[in-house]
Amino acid sequence: MLNYAKDADVVGNLVRGGAEKCTFIYNAHAARLRPLRAGGD
């Protein structure tokens, strides 16, 4: 998952059904990142 956030609230991101591994890449300037999850199914 690739995301760019400037002065934002990023809450509850969930990635489902992807590959075995997941990478979160954030370019965050003055952002608040809270529960970021990756799960199967």
Which DSSP string do the residues of 1-41 spell out, in sequence order? -EEEEES-EEEEEEEES--S----EEEEES-EEEEEEEE--
Please give the pLDDT value at position 36: 63
Q: Which residues contact 24 (CB under 8 A, 6 or more apart)?
A: 1, 3, 13, 36, 38
List pLDDT tens digits, range 1-41: 566 667 777 677 776 776 676 677 777 677 676 666 666 55
Please give the pLDDT value at position 37: 67
Q: Which residues contact 25 (CB under 8 A, 6 or more apart)?
A: 1, 2, 3
Beta-carbon count within 10 A of 13 CB: 15
